Amino acid sequence: MRAWIAGMAAELGLAAGFIAIAFAIAAVAILLR
């Protein structure tokens, strides 16, 4: 069960990571404008 919770947390963490990368890419795009 603990492994499952860790897996779920990792997946949600990955999804949050996507948002962080999105902000980083947007920042670069704005700076390079």
**Residues near other proteins, by CB under 8 A:** 3-4, 6-8, 10-12, 14-16, 18-19, 21-23, 25-27, 29-30, 33
Per DSSP, 32 falls in state: T
How many Cα neighbours within 13 Å face the side chain of 29?
6
Nearest to 30 by CA among 3, 13, 22: 22
Rounded least distance, CB 9 to other proteins, Å = 9
> Closest distance between other proteins and the C-beta of residue 13, in Å?
10
Please report how close the Cβ of residue 5 comes to other proteins at its closest, in angstroms. Answer: 9
